[in-house]
Structure 1
Amino acid sequence: MVTTLALVIFVLSYIIIMSEKFDRVLIACTGGVLMLIVGIFTVETAFVEYIDWGTIALLFSMMVIVTITSKTGVFEFIAINLAKLVNGRGVPLLFVVSILTAVGSAFLANVTTVLLLVPIVLTLVKILQVPAVPYLIAIIISSNIGGAATLIGDPPNIMIGQAVEHLTFNAFLIHLSPIVTLIFFLTLAGLSLLYWKRLKVSRENQLKLQKINALEYVTFDSVLVKSLSVLVLTISGFIFHPFIHVELTSVAMAGALLLLLLTHQEHRTDEVFKQVDWGTLFFFIGLFLLVGGLEEVGVIDETARGIIYYTEGDLPKTAMLVLWLTGILSGVVDNIPFVAAMIPVILEFKEYGMTNLDPLWWSLALGACLGGNGTLLGASSNLVVAGLAAKAKEEVNFLEFIKVGFPVVIVSLIICSVYVYFRYLVPFL
């Protein structure tokens, strides 16, 4: 009965969110609270086990840093110079934005990358008078693809790296970056063909862009120096986090607190907090509770364990099933709890006589990261971009994203299937 209730609440909440008839923040939080009311879990369990406060704190901290930094005009400065670099042409700009997002997501947390890039893109589209949605969708897709390339790019990879000692930063780079690079450029080509008609910039706007002096947007004062210094320090902390052994969330919180202390005379803390995107943060909390309900009643764990019985320990069949099941499900539920459930299951495969588990780890990593492109609910970075876009009155439609994102996932999984089979399974067989 409890399992049925959890499934009904989860499915109904997701259907209403996808319909976009009601505010998604309210629906996600309502679904989460219903899980509490019907007794799926207690308040204590929800707050201690299922709400990922590390992710919430990371998002909040980066929002604070970006909010203060944006007041200096530095994002407008970068945006204008980026646009000038490609002479204000729509499709080349899509390439530049996508490449920046993918590279940034590979070496920073992808959530951090989109928080930095979305304000720049929103500024650019206003100057060039082109639709923002194609660029925002490209940022989402590029962040998930780029994040798959390294150990620190996406939370599922971090979790796998912590669980398996020999899967180091270099191992992820060597094994995943080649296939991720191929998928990225094929996807970029597809996005360019899809959107090139919508991204035509008039000659008038191109000339207007060239006449703009980017320096006029920058406020040269102490806040500029302080915010850029803290931003560089924070990003450096993210890059070197495997060596300094300080959690990403701790680095972000320290950066936000330091910047608030340094700029409290110029920008009051309460005013900065008012500009934080609280809707996105509460949307995350609601989703954590919804997925936590499924985890509490054992749905996610049983799904993972069912793989063992279905494949009967056959390595090629298991690797393909892990890749596709993880890829499809990661587009519907947050990939973090599913990967958390899958890790101990894969470790148990040793008891079934499997001595080479690496194909399963790479399948899990690729499926979880690339599958996040399936829907707006598939990954943290998707929700952050959608939240920032909504705040700027540039809505990313749920169904419009699925039309682009889901085919990208299918093509990505097909390419990954060929890659995993010939690189890892054929030599083993």
Structure 2
Amino acid sequence: MIATIITIHLFFATVYLVIKEPEIVFKNKRVILDYARVSLAVLGLLIASGIASLTTIKSAMMPQMNIVPWQILIIFFGSAYICSSLDASGVLKVIAYKFTKSAGTGKKLFFSLVLLAGVMTVFTSNDIVTLTLTPIIVYISQYAGINPLPYLISVFFASNTWSMFFYIGNPTNVIVAQAYSLNFSNYAKLMFFPTLAAILTSVIGFYAKYKKILSDKISVHFEETKEVIKDKRYAFLSSGIFVIFFLVIATGDLYGLQLWKSILIFSGIYILLNLSFSDVMSERDEVVVEFKNFDYNLTFVVDTIRRVPWKMLPMVVTFFVFVHIFTTFGVTRYVGTLFNFPNELIGTVATAFITAFAANVMVNQPMTIFFAQALYQKPLNYAMSLVLGSNIGGNITLIGALAGVMWSRILAYYGIEMNNKKFIKETFFTACLTLLSSSFVTYVIHRFL
């Protein structure tokens, strides 16, 4: 009991510090307690207290409810590296220019980007779409001299709602589908109308919010293509490999190729590509290998690796460890006993909201594993609500999903600040409306169809 109480306190302290990121003064230096430092410190405390061990950490990464946490890590960090490599080629800048020029107005651009994000998400993964389109939107705002916020928020939200159509759209969908033994077609039939309700609500909500600041006319100013694309051979190969990658992950489910394997393979291909062109693409001499009269500049390949948000790794591992400990201590089973509601409508809506907000306390992947175990004996509408919570919950705060944390770091790379306070202000109301409409439709589907 004491160990359980300590774990729960440490868990909420971790969440608070991850969101707050306080500063301390150490030897006259200001040190930010970011989510990486906090997570490592908490893991140390768990081990030092005897609550966890290295074996516990290893077990937390092993299969749970037919999902493997270490594979999720490969999916996120591998896709981040692939998309960073594509961006480094300059191709995304050119696409952004063409896209902006054809849009003509801010309103048309708004609907075009949301539709593009949605269609891409249906056939791939929400995280990959977010990582790919975010640089494009940033470049569009630079070329057109417009406020990127409406487009960034709307596209991010779209990738986390359209992702519910099929279970390949989000790893959390796979967790729920496997826990409830739902195949591809059964899952799609259950989630089609709730997803449609979520899409319509969110698009209408954001258009109503941003329509006054969407430009009537967009004028485009662009750099010379030769300045944007440093090496045409690298740009051609990088974009060509990405098209193949996109097709592979879109069709992988048809021939049993798991997403994590595809991403691991193509990450290796991009590493080889970046190594081959590093000497040409490097713009400074930071990392140079010298051997006799031969020297090779590796700065470019090192820079692309650095762009991956590796600081997220300790935080994600820590939350998976917490979920594993909670299951071991029986907390998961106890939480499941609390989901006894007076009627199905209240149960369906409440589960969607509870899991959505829980995602913003423990990140959506660990949260989904936790609640899939807690609710596995409940009716099917609870599973559908869990899908809603795990996807739409990623739109409430930046830590609701791993994509949100990565997204904010990508924006920081381009000089755009996106903190939790700003994000919540933009998304909270629409997220709640979306949860309400989609959970109500979920109830109707479960009750009458």
Do the aligned residues in 2 keep the contact of 1:20 with 1:398 (CA within 8 Å)? no
Name the CA distance, whole Å, in 2 between partners of 1:115 and 1:304.
36
Do the aligned residues in 2 keep the contact of 1:7 with 1:294 (CA within 8 Å)? no
Name the CA distance, whole Å, in 2 between partners of 1:343 and 1:188.
29
Which residue of 2 is the match for residue 335 of structure 1? 364
Q: How does 1:81-230 map to 2 (within 5 A)?
A: 81-87=98-104, 89-165=105-181, 167-200=182-215, 206-209=218-221, 217-218=228-229, 221-230=232-241
Report the number of matched residues.
414
Which residue of 2 is the match for residue 353 of structure 1? none
Name the CA distance, whole Å, in 2 between partners of 1:24 and 1:213.
40
Do the aligned residues in 1 keep the contact of 2:274 with 2:301 (CA within 8 Å)? no
Q: How does 1:9-408 map to 2 (within 5 A)?
A: 9-21=10-22, 22=32, 23-50=34-61, 52-87=69-104, 89-165=105-181, 167-200=182-215, 206-209=218-221, 217-218=228-229, 221-267=232-278, 271-277=300-306, 280-298=309-327, 302=331, 305-311=334-340, 318-349=347-378, 357-408=379-430
| CA deviation after TM superposition for structure 1 residue 344, in Å | 4.0
Q: Deviations over 1:199-239 (max 9, x none)?
A: 447x6xx4444x77768744563322321222122112211
Higher relative contact order, chain-length normalized (CA < 8 Å, sep 6+): 1
Higher mean C-alpha displacement, 3-12 vs 122-131: 3-12
Name the CA distance, whole Å, in 2 between partners of 1:225 and 1:75.
12
Higher mean C-alpha displacement, 248-257 vs 188-197: 188-197
Do the aligned residues in 1 keep the contact of 2:202 with 2:431 (CA within 8 Å)? no
Do the aligned residues in 2 keep the contact of 1:277 with 1:387 (CA within 8 Å)? no
> Which one-letter code corresponds to 2:359 in the other structure?
S
Percent pairwise identity: 19
Q: Structure 2 vs 1, CA of residues 360 and 207 (structure 1 numbering), >3 Å: closer, same or farther?
A: closer
Higher mean C-alpha displacement, 153-162 vs 402-411: 402-411
Name the CA distance, whole Å, in 2 between partners of 1:232 and 1:277.
24
Equivalent position SS for 2:276:
coil
Q: Structure 2 vs 1, CA of residues 164 and 14 (structure 1 numbering), >3 Å: closer, same or farther?
A: closer
Name the CA distance, whole Å, in 2 between partners of 1:376 and 1:207.
32
- Give the structure-1-normalised TM-score: 0.85
| CA deviation after TM superposition for structure 1 residue 10, in Å | 2.6
Higher mean C-alpha displacement, 376-385 vs 30-39: 30-39
Do the aligned residues in 1 keep the contact of 2:144 with 2:219 (CA within 8 Å)? no
Name the CA distance, whole Å, in 2 between partners of 1:104 and 1:53.
25
Q: Structure 2 vs 1, CA of residues 153 and 310 (structure 1 numbering), >3 Å: closer, same or farther?
A: closer
Q: Structure 2 vs 1, CA of residues 222 and 4 (structure 1 numbering), >3 Å: closer, same or farther?
A: same
Which residue of 1 is the match for residue 295 of structure 2? none
| CA deviation after TM superposition for structure 1 residue 242, in Å | 1.3
Higher mean C-alpha displacement, 226-235 vs 293-302: 293-302
| CA deviation after TM superposition for structure 1 residue 184, in Å | 1.8
Name the CA distance, whole Å, in 2 between partners of 1:19 and 1:343.
29
> Which one-letter code corresponds to 1:186 in the other structure?
T
Name the CA distance, whole Å, in 2 between partners of 1:6 and 1:119.
39
Equivalent position SS for 1:240:
helix
Name the CA distance, whole Å, in 2 between partners of 1:284 and 1:91.
38
| CA deviation after TM superposition for structure 1 residue 86, in Å | 1.4
Q: Deviations over 1:232-278 (max 9, x none)?
A: 22112211121221221110111121233245321266632333356
Which residue of 2 is the match for residue 354 of structure 1? none
Q: Structure 2 vs 1, CA of residues 409 and 258 (structure 1 numbering), >3 Å: closer, same or farther?
A: same
Which residue of 2 is the match for residue 352 of structure 1? none
- Give the structure-2-normalised TM-score: 0.82
Name the CA distance, whole Å, in 2 between partners of 1:279 and 1:233.
22
Do the aligned residues in 1 keep the contact of 2:355 with 2:393 (CA within 8 Å)? yes
Name the CA distance, whole Å, in 1 between partners of 2:94 and 2:260.
28
| CA deviation after TM superposition for structure 1 residue 316, in Å | 5.2
Name the CA distance, whole Å, in 2 between partners of 1:278 and 1:82.
25
Do the aligned residues in 1 keep the contact of 2:348 with 2:382 (CA within 8 Å)? yes
| CA deviation after TM superposition for structure 1 residue 396, in Å | 0.7
Q: Structure 2 vs 1, CA of residues 113 and 123 (structure 1 numbering), >3 Å: closer, same or farther?
A: same
| CA deviation after TM superposition for structure 1 residue 141, in Å | 1.3
Higher mean C-alpha displacement, 96-105 vs 302-311: 302-311
Q: Structure 2 vs 1, CA of residues 373 and 64 (structure 1 numbering), >3 Å: closer, same or farther?
A: closer
Let me know the Cα RMSD of the aligned residues.
Answer: 3.0
Consecutive unaligned residues of structure 1, counting only runs of 5 or more, are 350-356
Equivalent position SS for 1:6:
helix
Name the CA distance, whole Å, in 2 between partners of 1:300 and 1:426.
38
Name the CA distance, whole Å, in 2 between partners of 1:300 and 1:216.
58
Do the aligned residues in 2 keep the contact of 1:114 with 1:143 (CA within 8 Å)? yes
Q: Structure 2 vs 1, CA of residues 263 and 38 (structure 1 numbering), >3 Å: closer, same or farther?
A: same
Do the aligned residues in 1 keep the contact of 2:368 with 2:386 (CA within 8 Å)? yes
> Which one-letter code corresponds to 2:99 in the other structure?
L
Name the CA distance, whole Å, in 2 between partners of 1:292 and 1:17.
16
Consecutive unaligned residues of structure 2, counting only runs of 5 or more, are 23-31, 63-68, 280-297
